[in-house]
Chain A
Amino acid sequence: MLTWIAILILAALSTVAFLVGRRKALASAGGSSAKMHSLPGYYGTYVALWVGVPAALLLFVSIMLGGRLEHGLLTATEPPVLQQLSSEQKELFFEDAQALAEGRQLSEAIYEPDVKLALEAKANEARVYSNAFRQGTFALMGVLVLAGFLWTFPRLNKDFRARNRVEGWVDGLLLACSIVAVITTLGIILSLVWESLRFFSSVPPADFLLGTHWSPQIGMRDDQVGSSGGFGALPLFAGTFLVMLIAMCVAGPVGLFSAIYLSEYAGPKARAVFKPLLEILAGVPTVVYGFFAALTVGPIFRQAFNSLGGLFLGGPLNELGLYLGQVQNQMALVAGFVMGIMLIPFVSSLSDDIINSVPQALRDGSYAMGATKSETVKKVVLPAALPGIAGAFLLAISRAVGETMIVTMAAGLQAKLTLNPLETVTTVTVQIVTLLTGDQEFDSPKTLAAFGLGLTLFAVTLVLNIVALRIVQKYREQYD
């Protein structure tokens, strides 16, 4: 509540600073903005920024760090009664103390009377800390506001280069945003690497990358923690690869050919119909593709294979017939096929862009040589676009490898080392999902295995993306 009031006050002060600053600058030019270095608004903005931003930053930092700091102070001294508690109970105790101080809901823990007393004492302590902290923050904010004002306001006159100073602020703001983006990404990567290292300290990387036996659920039992036999991820990589391959067999040709049709053959009318349709396809949530795969495509494929198997029964291919007869709904083929459909718009719109960026002069050159349209497409446009199209395919592959929902719903869960598209397979992403859904302790090898998988996946897609973007970019430069 107080924080909100502080924010409101700060906003009001900034507004005042803006008005005052503008007024002073205008006055120094005798009321004529033509004589001033910058537009009057810039002078106001300059003062307002110095008055508002540092204090706002301080407030933000104090909100972010305040809880931590208080917690640290609070736990620095432990009341003697806590000695009877386990470390988890202690943690709960301190959390409850803070909750009590802030008037939040307590946990359901039941405390002995003496502990309860200590709890109240700690809560009082917490109140003292947070009051002091808050007052300190507000005081410091006040100082910053005043300093900002005194730093800027006296310097204002008509020749002051307020416009350039404000430009500097804009610069800084943009830089700050991009730094936030970079740091967040770095943080994610670091935590991924960190947790993976923990995982790899109990499971050797070679066993993980090359092992063929995947059954992480077993490793969860205490007597088997770290048993490396269960963490051979090769079947997952194989499954991922198989599904990706099938997806690309669908998305590659269909996406590319539709791109060729759209960019080279389709008239404006056909384009006006097809382009938006493909964009709609690109906007379908993957979970919808997922149940489309599980509920529609899966059964259709199973029935088709089952009845195909029926034809072979009793013949020389009896074995094959029997095999086809027991094919399930969930198989790599279904997941790959539907994923391929999902990727069609992706491949086709990227390829379309690339084909369109092949200069018209090349087509004209070919037509002028007496080539037909398809000769021109085949011999000039496609070869010219090939590097870019390869890049587009790599991007699509990286999407296919990272795609989760469709495979979760349609590929199956069994980790089998197979390249048979009719088998159920499981993929890296599916395993991450199954490892982390439900109640988990956060440091069993089982959950850590998810980080190992995540890191592998990240590394693969990162390399794919970098290579792909390089290719596409290089290709773009060629025909700028």
Chain B
Amino acid sequence: MPMNRDDSASHEAASAPGEQAAPAVPSGPSIKIRARDINVFYGEKQALFDVAIDIAEKSVTSFIGPSGCGKSTFLRCMNRMNDTIPICRVTGSIEMDGEDVNDKSIDPVVLRARVGMVFQKPNPFPKSIYENVAYGPRIHGLATGKDELDAIVESSLRRAGLWDEVSDRLMQPGTGLSGGQQQRLVIARAIAVGPEVILMDEPCSALDPIATAKIEELIDELREQFCIVIVTHSMAQAARVSQRTAFFHMGRLVESGATDEMFTNPRDSRTQDYITGRFG
């Protein structure tokens, strides 16, 4: 039975087994992803310990915490990217819309079309801008003809706020764009397959402040349609873009809750220390 340890890492605070994480996700948005008892091992080394969290639909959740605390690792559990690391082993349950993503019946390849991912360093494929965005629709057979594909490419680029900048050079290599443009291209690429969730692992850490501001603006717009999870090193960014925040420390989820509340009134002393810059 999954235990709700969402509001606090302490076992004492756990509510009754099976109960919804009511205090964690206040009324309003429903829960998109519900993770329980997540333990992750890289070989012998354990990277995550009993992580349990609820992630709300159509909102931005940010993961903060010092380097190496397991934020990326947890993010990669949600689209099973950890499967691509041979030594990595994940236990526990992650339910998306009530379905366990680790279940044998779930094809990770299909899952990843539903859960898009944006990486720290922009990684456009060495193809044209058009082909980068068309990549996902092509492999998933989402478009039946050239016109339909064109339409998907255009609307994805528009939603990623990149269309106006690249519409006249769609056939030029995506690697020729600036870092910020590349990152938005990658977001467009992820959007093109119509995901439900978008995971972003420090998407702005390689960008300058202006490009960062654009991405943040974009994230805020995308929140209307997607469930977004963003890992960030910047407390200010977490405060700006996210409605809910989760603080990780040494492989454990220390606390999670509404972003305003967490930044003004953290419950755990470690969160307080981190937010006030005393470590990490």
Contact = CB atoms under 8 A, between A and B. Distances in A.
Given A379-B135, A379-B139, A368 B112 contact: yes
Interface in A345-381: 359, 361-372, 375, 379-380
| Chain A residues touching B, range | 20 to 34
Nearest to A365: B123
B125 A365 contact: yes
8 closest Cβ contacts across the A-B interface? A370-B113, A368-B117, A370-B112, A361-B123, A365-B123, A369-B136, A384-B126, A370-B109
Given A267-B86, A369-B113, A370-B136, A380 B81 contact: no
B121 to A, nearest CB: 6
Contacts of B236: none
7 contacts: A361-B121, A365-B189, A368-B79, A369-B136, A369-B139, A370-B140, A371-B109
Contacts, number: 66
Interface string A365-408: 11111111001000110011000000000000000000000000
Contacts of A379: 125, 135, 139
B139 to A, nearest CB: 5
Interface of A: 267-268, 359, 361-372, 375, 379-380, 383-384, 478
Q: Is the interface of A mostly helix, strand, loop or mixed?
A: helix
Contact of A384 (B110, B125, B186, B193): B125
A364 B123 contact: yes
Nearest to A479: B126
B41 to A, nearest CB: 18
Contact of A370 (B86, B119, B139, B186): B139
Contact of A375 (B81, B113, B139): B139
A364 B119 contact: yes
Contacts of A371: 109, 135, 139
Interface residues of B, number: 26
Contacts of A367: 81, 84, 112
A443 B186 CA distance: 68
Nearest to B110: A370
Given A375-B139, A379-B135, A383-B127, A369 B193 contact: yes
A379 B110 CA distance: 18
Interface in B91-126: 109-113, 116-117, 119, 121, 123-126
A372 B112 CA distance: 10
B190 interface: yes
A380 B138 CA distance: 13
A372 B139 CA distance: 9
Contacts of A268: 86
A375 B135 CA distance: 10
Given A369-B136, A369-B190, A372-B109, A380 B121 contact: no
A370 B114 CA distance: 8
A378 B193 CA distance: 19
Contacts of B79: 368
Given A362-B125, A383-B126, A369 B84 contact: no
Given A267-B86, A369-B189, 9 more contacts: A268-B86, A363-B84, A364-B84, A364-B119, A365-B123, A365-B189, A366-B135, A368-B79, A369-B112
A363 B135 CA distance: 13
A375 B109 CA distance: 11
A371 B186 CA distance: 15
A365 B139 contact: no
Contacts of B116: 368-369
Interface in B18-46: none
Interface string B172-190: 0000000000000010011
A362 B175 CA distance: 12
B139 A368 contact: no
Contacts of A364: 81, 84, 117, 119, 123
A366 B81 contact: no
Contacts of A363: 84
B233 to A, nearest CB: 18
A385 to B, nearest CB: 10
A211 B109 CA distance: 60
A364 B72 CA distance: 13
Contacts of B189: 365, 369
Contacts of B110: 370
A379 B140 CA distance: 13
B109 A365 contact: no
Nearest to B80: A367
Contacts of A369: 112-113, 116, 135-136, 139, 189-190, 193
Contacts of B193: 369-370
